[in-house]
């Protein structure tokens, strides 16, 4: 499906590779960005007047548990990296191939291959065959690989294929049975908890394994001061270590668990205020590479339960951009940095030519009105379930148009 | 005790203002005068448990005891309390296994609500489960213990026992010893007694006494001797058998040797220190039989008696609005 040439003029371009947004027009031909401020435009081009709104690369949402085109369209997400967890873990080439095709043409799904068979943390899955079938990385799933020897082999093998390994960072011994971070709040609510240090313990082990193997490693979500210190130091040593975070861990602390609100039951759990502040600092100073939704819609059967019995996870695809723009509005990060976190960096991890407004990149584009106010409403979300811990929050910024490969998505 | 009219002091309000809460889900958040009010009300029933006024107070009302977790003592105590007040009491024992999935719990709440009970007493193995159900029903809900969270009537009955024996709570030093981490009784007592002005100490092996207890105003000790030093009240908690065999402590006999309440350890407390235990006791583990059975020191059977009085008071107070009691309707 070849799209007609597309000219978007009168736009404010937000290119993660540039230092600042700039007013310009953008021409896309054959699904790729052909020129910025083109000297001439093909006669058959569709012309769009952006009316000064933001034109940015489509969001690459790194590490979702469900790929939902409607929710992604609302949120300005044009590609997702899909976690291998599911009723049947993505541990075979056939499953990868099917998952990779499921969203096209509106949403491109880049499956992350299960690092081990059935995600059991024991034996290597057929990583190379899954790569050939469309996998763009390997992932350990909702938990880490407990056995350090297995993890070392996962890293080395995937690294050899040029694939990033994506891991969860919690020491399973400390966190077994826990549903919250050890804190006054967890104690008051009577919730089984684990110390926040369980995260840094896992990060320290895996950074050591990166030193041993030299293979790239991405921590899907880091949330604690101690873990950011470790990643900061590893990056300074030049190790190929990256990390991500969700808006929830930047904007909420464990006080959100009050009254046992199960929409605030996340994995990793919400942390104390000191760790939240450390996360904001790590976002500002470049320690954090990726801002992701961890989209995981959960219906009442998983959430209308006592807190400890409820499943962790939140629906985040629709709120990722607006919450990210909030961090721009309040001065934590710049607009170009936001789109480095949302698009350029995750695209680079996946090795796809997207996430920027560079000439030659895929014309995955979103037009954003950064100021339009709206209110997050759990009942009005397009995701399969509206389990957001931000219900009722007023936010600013709305996606007006989305193009995938130069073709408009309605 | 409460026969004289209260002065118009904002700290001792009358009528509905004395206890302006629909449910009793925990002692956290209650004001000192609200706790004192419930204790005063309970005091009435200690002496007049069988008088005729009480026998018909809740006549025509239906109280459902919905226990999603096994209980003998608390269930019996609530049942007797309701019956002494003349209510129709229905016990619904729900095996935890059959009600594990979520919608079932909400569905059960809806079912209970449709029965049009006038009060529901709930025990559940998960923290917050009682609040979840309370949110879905139209009648008052009493928490009879939810997970590791709270057991408010136990906290009240312990406070009443202490107040009757010691004449006050304010300024007393209370040492709570044993498995603090997994104890809803400990949480309700720490909160309730601290609200009423007691100095609360918690003590036990570090694996069972989390540092977060200090955030609730308690002083934390890992040597039980230090906690007992000069204490007015010594409260021993039950150690669950599944935590004794190496999971949290090495063995029951080691626990007894290091943390159990023996005559030698009790000698460190004040000479007239009161010994309490929420029951059922593991004799020879957390407490020596000789101490438990010493009528001079032990208030353990008195606690059980106070339990009925406290539960009568809570059922009375929480149903006043729907009974149209003057000042409450």
Q: Which residues of A touch B129 (CB under 8 A)?
A: 306
Residue B54 has pLDDT above 80, yes or no: no
Pairwise CA distance, residues B97 & A20, whole Å: 59
Domain limits, chain A: 57-356+370-396
Distance from CA of A180 to the nearest CA of B (A): 12
User: Does residue A112 sit at the B interface (CB-CB below 8 Å)?
Assistant: no
**Are B195 and B277 a contacting pair, CB within 8 Å?**
no
Establish how many alpha carbons lie within 13 A of residue B18's alpha carbon, considering only the half-sphere containing its beta carbon: 25
Q: How far is CA B166 from CA B44, B233, B234, B311, in A?
A: 18, 9, 13, 21
Burial classification of residue A408, based on how many CB atoms lie within 10 Å of its CB (0-12 exposed, 13-18 middle, 19 or more buried): middle
Question: Would you state the pLDDT for residue B93?
Answer: 74
**A191 contacts B126? CB cut-off 8 A:** no
**Are B265 and B290 a contacting pair, CB within 8 Å?**
no
Pairwise CA distance, residues A109 & B164, whole Å: 69
Q: Which residues of A touch B213 (CB under 8 A)?
A: 187
Question: Among all residues of chain A, which has the CA nearest to that of B149?
Answer: A190
Question: Would you state the pLDDT for residue B95?
Answer: 61
> What ipTM describes this predicted complex?
0.89
CA B277, B278, B280: angle at the middle one, nearest 5? 95
pLDDT in tens, B112-137: 899 999 999 999 999 999 999 999 99
Give the E-state strand segments of chain B in sequence order: 62-67, 88-93, 119-124, 141-146, 173-177, 199-203, 219-221, 233-236, 274-276
Establish how many alpha carbons lie within 13 A of residue B101's alpha carbon, considering only the half-sphere containing its beta carbon: 7
Q: How far is CA B206 from CA A219, B31, B177, B203, B306, in A?
A: 32, 31, 12, 8, 32
**A187 contacts B210? CB cut-off 8 A:** yes
Nearest to A187 among B131, B147, B212 (CB): B212
SS3 B315: helix
Distance from CA of B28 to the nearest CA of A (A): 9
**A192 contacts B148? CB cut-off 8 A:** yes
**A310 contacts B126? CB cut-off 8 A:** no
Per-chain mean pLDDT for chain A: 97
**B184 contacts A187? CB cut-off 8 A:** no
**Are A331 and A351 a contacting pair, CB within 8 Å?**
no
* H or E element in which residue A241 lies: strand A241-245
If pLDDT is split at 50, 70 and 90, which confidence band does B109 have? Answer: confident
Pairwise CA distance, residues A131 & A114, whole Å: 11
For residue A136, how far is the Cα from the chain centroid? 14
User: Does residue A189 sit at the B interface (CB-CB below 8 Å)?
Assistant: yes
Distance from CA of B217 to the nearest CA of A (A): 11
Residue A380 has pLDDT above 90, yes or no: yes
SS3 A31: coil
Percentage above 90 pLDDT, chain A: 97
Residue B98 has pLDDT above 70, yes or no: no
Mutate to test the interface with A, among B124, B147, B211 (most CBs of A within 10 A): B147
**A188 contacts B28? CB cut-off 8 A:** yes
If pLDDT is split at 50, 70 and 90, which confidence band does B158 have? Answer: very high
Helices B152-166, B32-47: crossing angle, 10 deg rounding: 70
Q: Which residues of A touch B212 (CB under 8 A)?
A: 182-184, 186-187
Percentage above 70 pLDDT, chain B: 92
What is the residue whose two structure tokens read 């895929």?
A362
If pLDDT is split at 50, 70 and 90, which confidence band does B304 have? Answer: very high
If pLDDT is split at 50, 70 and 90, which confidence band does A205 have? Answer: very high
Q: Which residues of A touch B131 (CB under 8 A)?
A: 259-260
Long-range contacts of A175-184 (CB under 8 A, 24+ apart): A178/A269, A179/A265, A179/A269, A179/A307, A179/A308, A179/A312, A180/A254, A180/A257, A180/A269, A180/A270, A180/A307, A181/A254, A181/A269, A181/A270, A181/A271, A181/A272, A182/B210, A182/B212, A183/A254, A183/A272, A183/B212, A184/B212, A184/B215, A184/B216
Question: Would you state the pLDDT for residue B1?
Answer: 43
**CATH node for A57-356+370-396:** 3.20.20.140
**B187 contacts A188? CB cut-off 8 A:** yes
Pairwise CA distance, residues B81 & B83, whole Å: 6
**B150 contacts A190? CB cut-off 8 A:** yes
* H or E element in which residue A63 lies: strand A59-64
Q: Is B169 left (phi over 0), alpha (psi -120 to 50) or beta?
A: alpha
Q: Which residues of A touch B126 (CB under 8 A)?
A: 305-309
**A304 contacts B102? CB cut-off 8 A:** yes
Strand partners, A167: A219
Please provide the size of chain A in residues.
Answer: 410
Helices A197-213, A148-160: crossing angle, 10 deg rounding: 50
Residue B102 has pLDDT above 70, yes or no: no
Residue B194 has pLDDT above 60, yes or no: yes
Distance from CA of B152 to the nearest CA of A (A): 13
Q: Which residues of A touch B106 (CB under 8 A)?
A: 300, 304
Distance from CA of B231 to the nearest CA of A (A): 25
Question: Would you state the pLDDT for residue B3?
Answer: 45
pLDDT in tens, A55-106: 999 999 999 999 999 999 999 999 999 999 988 999 999 999 999 999 888 9
If pLDDT is split at 50, 70 and 90, which confidence band does B108 have? Answer: confident
Distance from CA of A261 to the nearest CA of B (A): 9
User: Does residue A260 sit at the B interface (CB-CB below 8 Å)?
Assistant: yes
User: Does residue A187 sit at the B interface (CB-CB below 8 Å)?
Assistant: yes
Residue of B18, B15, B16 lying closest to B35 (CA atoms) = B18
Average pLDDT over residues B258-287: 96
Question: Would you state the pLDDT for residue B101?
Answer: 52
Taking each continuous run of H as one helix and of E as one strand, the counts in chain B are 13, 9
**B215 contacts A190? CB cut-off 8 A:** no
pLDDT in tens, A163-192: 999 999 999 999 999 999 999 999 999 999
Q: Which residues of B touch A186 (CB under 8 A)?
A: 212
**Are A45 and A4 a contacting pair, CB within 8 Å?**
yes
Residue of A363, A395, A365, A288 lying closest to A14 (CA atoms) = A365
**Are B288 and B298 a contacting pair, CB within 8 Å?**
no
Pairwise CA distance, residues A69 & A380, whole Å: 16
Pairwise CA distance, residues B279 & B298, whole Å: 12
Handedness of CA A337, A342, A343, A348 (dihedral sign): positive
Q: How far is CA A124 from CA A64, A81, A138, A217, in A?
A: 22, 20, 11, 16
If pLDDT is split at 50, 70 and 90, which confidence band does B4 have? Answer: very low
Handedness of CA A28, A34, A39, A43 (dihedral sign): negative
User: Does residue A192 sit at the B interface (CB-CB below 8 Å)?
Assistant: yes
**Are B277 and B236 a contacting pair, CB within 8 Å?**
yes
- Chain A 165-184, residues with CB within 8 Å of chain B CB atoms: 182-184
Pairwise CA distance, residues B198 & B83, whole Å: 33
Question: Among all residues of chain A, which has the CA nearest to that of B29?
Answer: A188
Distance from CA of B295 to the nearest CA of A (A): 34
């Amino acid at each position: 499906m070849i799209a007609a040439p597309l000219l978007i003029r009168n736009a404010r371009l937000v290119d993660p590779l540039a230092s600042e947004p700039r007013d310009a027009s953008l021409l896309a031909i054959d699904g790729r960005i052909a020129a910025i401020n083109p000297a001439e435009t093909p006669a058959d081009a569709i012309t769009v007047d952006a009316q000064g709104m933001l034109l940015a690369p489509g969001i690459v949402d790194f590490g979702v548990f469900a790929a939902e085109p409607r929710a992604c369209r609302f949120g300005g997400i044009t590609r997702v990296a899909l976690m291998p967890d599911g009723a049947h873990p993505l541990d075979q080439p056939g499953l990868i191939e099917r998952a990779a095709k499921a969203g096209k043409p509106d949403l491109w799904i880049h499956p992350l291959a299960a690092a081990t068979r059935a995600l059991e943390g024991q034996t290597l899955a057929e990583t190379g065959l899954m790569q050939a079938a469309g996998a763009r990385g390997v992932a350990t799933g909702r938990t880490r690989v407990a056995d350090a020897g297995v993890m070392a082999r996962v890293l080395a093998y995937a690294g050899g294929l040029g694939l990033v390994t994506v891991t969860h960072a919690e020491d399973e011994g400390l966190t077994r049975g826990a549903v919250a971070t050890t804190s006054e709040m967890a104690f008051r609510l009577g919730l089984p908890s684990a110390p926040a240090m369980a995260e840094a313990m896992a990060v320290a082990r895996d950074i050591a394994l990166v030193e041993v193997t030299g293979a790239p490693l991405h921590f899907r979500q880091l949330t604690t001061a101690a873990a950011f210190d470790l990643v900061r130091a590893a990056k300074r040593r030049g190790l190929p270590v990256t990390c991500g975070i969700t808006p929830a861990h930047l904007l909420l602390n464990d006080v959100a668990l009050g009254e046992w609100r199960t929409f605030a039951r996340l994995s990793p759990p919400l942390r104390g205020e000191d760790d939240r502040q450390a996360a904001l600092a790590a976002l500002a100073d470049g320690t954090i590479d990726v801002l992701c939704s961890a989209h995981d819609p959960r219906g009442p059967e998983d959430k209308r339960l006592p807190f400890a019995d409820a499943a962790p996870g939140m629906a985040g695809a629709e709120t990722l951009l607006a919450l990210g723009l909030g961090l721009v509005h309040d001065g934590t990060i710049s607009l170009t940095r936001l789109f480095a976190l949302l698009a350029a960096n995750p695209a680079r991890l996946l090795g796809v030519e997207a996430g920027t407004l560079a000439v030659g990149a895929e014309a995955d584009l979103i037009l954003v009105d950064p100021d339009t106010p709206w209110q997050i409403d759990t009942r009005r979300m397009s995701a399969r379930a509206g389990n957001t811990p931000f219900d009722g929050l007023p936010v600013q910024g709305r996606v007006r148009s989305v193009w995938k490969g130069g073709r408009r998505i309605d | 005790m409460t026969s004289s009219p209260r002065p118009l002091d904002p700290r001792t309000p009358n009528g509905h203002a004395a206890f302006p809460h629909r449910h009793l889900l925990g002692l956290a958040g209650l004001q000192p005068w609200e706790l004192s009010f419930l204790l005063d009300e309970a005091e009435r029933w200690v002496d007049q448990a069988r008088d005729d006024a009480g026998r018909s107070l809740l006549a025509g009302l239906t109280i459902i005891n919905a226990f999603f977790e096994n209980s003998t003592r608390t269930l019996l105590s609530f049942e007797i309390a309701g019956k002494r007040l003349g209510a129709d009491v229905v016990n619904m024992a729900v095996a935890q296994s059959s009600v594990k999935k979520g919608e079932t719990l909400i569905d059960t709440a809806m079912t209970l609500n449709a029965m049009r009970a006038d009060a529901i007493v709930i025990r559940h193995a998960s923290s917050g489960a009682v609040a979840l159900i309370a949110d879905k029903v139209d009648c008052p809900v009493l928490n009879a213990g939810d997970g590791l969270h709270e057991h408010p009537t136990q906290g009240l009955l312990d406070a009443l026992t202490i107040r009757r024996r010691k004449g006050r709570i304010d300024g007393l030093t209370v040492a709570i010893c044993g498995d603090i981490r997994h104890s809803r009784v400990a949480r309700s007592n720490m909160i309730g007694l601290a609200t009423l002005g007691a100095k609360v100490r918690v003590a036990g092996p570090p694996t069972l006494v989390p540092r977060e207890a200090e955030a609730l105003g308690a002083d934390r000790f890992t040597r039980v001797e230090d906690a007992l030093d000069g204490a007015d009240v010594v409260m021993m908690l039950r150690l669950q058998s599944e935590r004794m065999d190496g999971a949290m402590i090495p063995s029951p006999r080691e626990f007894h040797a290091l943390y159990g309440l023996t005559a030698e350890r009790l000698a460190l407390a004040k000479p007239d220190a009161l010994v309490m235990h929420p029951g059922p006791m593991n004799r020879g583990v957390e407490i020596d039989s000789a101490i438990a059975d010493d009528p001079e020191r032990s208030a353990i059977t008195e606690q059980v008696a106070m339990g009925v009085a406290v539960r009568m008071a809570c059922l009375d107070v929480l149903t006043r609005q729907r009974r149209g009691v003057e000042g409450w309707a």
